[in-house]
Amino acid sequence: MVEINLLPQTERRSTRPDGWKYGAAGVLGLSLLLIALGEARVGGRLAALRDEEAQLQGEIAALQGAKTEYDGLVAEQRTLEGVTAVATQLRDGKTYWTNDLAAFSAQLPSGGGVALTSMTVKTLDAAALGGLQQTGVYAGKNVVREFDLSGTARSQQSVVNFLNAFENSPGFAVNFRGVQREGEEGRYTFAASVGLVGEAPAAAPADAAGTPAPEGTPAPEAPPAEPVGGGTGGNNG
């Protein structure tokens, strides 16, 4: 028997199977499952990262004391390096001012008549000494330290006697700067520098081989060789 559907097209119920509905539901369920698995995996990773972060924070807290101690040691090292540098500089530039002053005082003339008002001691390096010697000051003397003096004297002769006491000593040299009379009292003021002579620099050793002959000089000829044998032999007849 043949069934004929006489209902209008819009009111007819589909008689096709509903398999697509089950397929769509399956796809939706699978998608939800994958999303849930992804979230679980991400959640596990986040939990592991939080645990690792907490562990690192604990290690940082444990090392904080050591870091503070290390920073303190570094600061102390820098302080000690600065102190050592200053000590080394002082040692390298050390001058025996006490001995120098003792030598200066021992050379003072006994006559008196001179009063020093100021004295400054300074080291005189080779460059400064060379410049002074070019102007005729300290000529021929290896002055290593210099006493800059100023003072008063009863007379010009007192100044002369005072400076001659150093000028005539092989251990000193004098750089006279000037003298002038002050007021009506007859007092004189003067300024001068007294150089302390140190040890002379060692001379360069002479060349043991002597001075080489100029280029192009012919070599000396060898002496002639003596004849071999006692004389000239003749033929026996």
Amino acid found at 166: F
Of 221, 199, 131, 141, nearest to 174 (Cα)?
Answer: 141
Q: Cα separation of 187 and 158, whole Å? A: 11
- Could you tell me which residues come within 8 angstroms of residue 164 by beta carbon, excluding any fewer than 6 positions away? 109
pLDDT of residue 100: 86
Query: Would you place residue 229 in the very low, low, confident or very high pLDDT band (cuts 50, 70, 90)?
Result: very low
Tokens of 161: 């006697």
- The structure tokens listed for 140 are 């021929």
Q: How far apart (Å, rounded) are the C-alpha atoms in residues 170 and 196?
A: 9
Q: How far apart are CA 200 and CA 95, in angstroms?
A: 17
Whether the predicted pLDDT of 19 surpasses 70 = no
The residues pairing with 143 across neighbouring beta strands, listed in sequence order, are 197
C-alpha closest to that of 159 among 114, 108, 110: 114
Name the strand (E) or helix (H) holding 162. helix 156-167
Dihedral sign, Cα of residue 128, residue 130, residue 133, residue 139: positive
Confidence band of 4 (pLDDT split at 50, 70, 90) = low
Q: Residue 177: which of 165, 161, 194, 162 has the closest Cα?
A: 194
pTM here is 0.47
- Between 27 and 119, the higher pLDDT residue: 119
The arithmetic mean of pLDDT across residues 6-32, rounded, is: 66
Separation CA 81–CA 75 (nearest Å): 10
Residue 172 tokens read as 């000193």
What are 154-200's pLDDT values in tens digits? 888 999 999 999 999 999 999 999 999 887 777 899 999 999 998 76
- Which range is least confidently modeled, 119-123, 153-157, 203-207, 209-213? 209-213
Contact between residue 133 and residue 88 where contact means Cβ atoms under 8 Å apart: no
The pLDDT tens digits of the residues spanning 43-77 come to: 888 888 888 888 888 888 888 888 888 888 999 88
What pLDDT score was predicted for residue 40?
Answer: 82
